[in-house]
Structure 1
Amino acid sequence: MTPRILILGGTTEARQLAGRLAARGGFDITLSLAGRTENPVAQPVPVRVGGFGGANGLAGYLGAEAIDLLIDATHPYAARISANAAKAAAMAGVDILALRRPGWEPVESDRWTLVDSGEEAVGALGTEPKRVFLALGRQELLPFETAPQHAYVIRSVDPVEPPLAVPNARYILARGPFAEADEAALLAELGIEVIVAKNSGGSATYGKINAARALGIAVILFRRPALPEVPDAASVAGMLDLIDHRWPTAEKRGV
């Protein structure tokens, strides 16, 4: 019987993993997207869009669809989804693996301030007006309305609706990856003094961190949330190794 795999996606790695597995053949793969992005990138396998209704709903789906393996390849900050995934897998008796890209680590000359919330980030900005680059999801932006003295540049994949209730905000619609040279030029042109971002890890959005280091720009970085302890891999290649361990390829079996 063909193994059935459900990938909880929304990340570049999820799409890459789905593509690699599809190219291999021998798996029935569904990629699940939350549906928060208005124009998602084309995916290489069948896609399911929308929530499941919490852990109970996801557990029901896993059972109804006879899923053999659940792979949590969601964003590192999707803590609630990851928690629901681990709980649902346990309820349904389905194995779960997580694809978790490592976070960025500070190096010498980085000017990082670590925070746990938007409110802490606002406090870290201080009271003096600054030019601030916000590289955050729409859900994390609201606390910055309490600091209208700053001039904000807000970059997002989808439009921020409604716009922030602040007097000075510029919106940039763009999807990564972003090259370091382009990031440095943008930050310099806009006179950015502080970047506020998540520690997303990976290379797609690391350009702004490198650029900030080179330009001496301060970075306020959200700490990563705690995630459930499940078997995990740090890369697509590592996840493929875990899957191969569970379902050895014909070549590895010597067939």
Structure 2
Amino acid sequence: MTVAIITGASSGIGQSIAIQVAARGAGVILTYQGNSAGAFDTVAAIEKEGGTAVALRLDVGGPLSGFIAFRDQVVAALRDTWQRDTFDHLVNNAGSAYMAMFPDTAEDEFDKLYRVHLKGPYFLTQTLLPLLADGGAIVNIASGAASFSGLEPGYSAYGSMKGGMVTLTRYLAKELSVRGIRVNSVSPGATRTRFGGDAFARFPEVIPGLAAKTALGRLGEPDDIGVAVAALLGDDGRWITAQDIEVSGGFNL
């Protein structure tokens, strides 16, 4: 059995990725920060279908010492649950939202985005790398906000961090290819999640406009992203590396 680590899997896209990966036969170590109930809902959904999952708390934007402690927990979970000392797949998904026009972007919010979306995944991956099996795969969740098709006012800071993740993906793909490890990024378009304080539920009036900008005529759903990530991690994605794949239904096409 393969084993995947998926960060930020207590709701939305991360939750869907965890469930979709488990449905393809992988064991799952999923992380959460504050939403423990959501994380254990994810575990329950996986176990209901006969899968195996473990939920661990992790603050991706926290101090790097927390990554060392997390690695020790991963070692214990691998040993106790799967009788292994390595894992096969890593999905850097955990994130936070922030929107502000460029002149109004606050330094503390900029720094938070940097810690959660770039610095954290960078050093978490570095910390876990000795446990990642040769021939494994990494998927970094980027964003359409980092590409020409997804440029929207108010996301200069968020999009810049996600652009950094796309660049990091290419460097990792180059450096880790000697171990047969594939590294890709997935850039979702507008997707119906609780991101931004459950923004779509609070402001449903924005949905028709986003759907109208999307070639396939609707808002994305978490499972649209989850199935794409699961395919990239599995054998279907065996000849794909160093790519950023936009999963947006053709936003601004």
TM over 0.5, shorter chain: no
Q: For this structure pair, what is the TM-score category when the shorter chain's length is used for normalisation?
A: 0.3 to 0.5
Larger helix percent = 2
Higher-Rg member (1/2)? 1
- TM-score w.r.t. structure 2 length? 0.43
Higher normalized strand content (fraction of residues) = 1
> TM-score, structure 1 length as denominator?
0.43
